[in-house]
Amino acid sequence: MKRRAIAPVETQAADALSELAAALSGLRTPEQVRAFLEDLCTPAELEAMSDRWRVVPLLEEGVPYREIHERTQVSVTTIGRVARVLERGAGGYAAALHRRGLRHR
């Protein structure tokens, strides 16, 4: 009997992420996306993602880290991580900024 090869964990995770991205892209309104995220994520995960997103436009405006922290209460460490991803990540933040009408440097 011929055995089927089982996909490596990395491939399974990449496929699952692609499926998640497809599910999100199929939603039509912010309300649908919000409902999906509320079903998918814990309150702590939603808070962490929301915090990161709140930081992105401020970094884009060139607001200093300490001022961002004072305005948002997001940790300076998280702000630094978001800044690194904004500069060297996969381009998702830049795409979202562009779609929201905010320019990426």
User: Cα–Cα distances in Å, from 56 out to 2, 4, 68, 70?
Assistant: 51, 45, 10, 15
Does residue 18 sit within a domain?
A: no
Domain span at residue 78 reads: 29-99
Selection from 95, 73, 77, 74 nearest residue 86 by Cα: 95
Does residue 44 sit within a domain?
A: yes
Query: Residue 2 pLDDT > 70, yes or no?
Result: no
97 close to 103: Cβ distance less than 8 angstroms: yes
Q: How far apart are CA 9 and CA 2, in angstroms?
A: 21
pLDDT tens, position by position, 28-62: 999 999 999 999 999 999 999 999 999 999 999 99
Higher pLDDT, 9 or 67: 67
Residue 13's pLDDT is 84
- pLDDT grade, residue 1 (50/70/90)? low
Does residue 22 sit within a domain?
A: no
Does residue 9 sit within a domain?
A: no
Q: How many domains does the chain have?
A: 1
pLDDT tens, position by position, 70-89: 999 999 999 999 999 999 99
Residue 47's pLDDT is 97
Does residue 12 sit within a domain?
A: no
Residue 80's pLDDT is 98
Does residue 24 sit within a domain?
A: no
User: Cα–Cα distances in Å, from 44 out to 37, 38, 76, 79?
Assistant: 12, 11, 18, 17
Read off the CATH number of the domain in which 89 is found: 1.10.1270.10
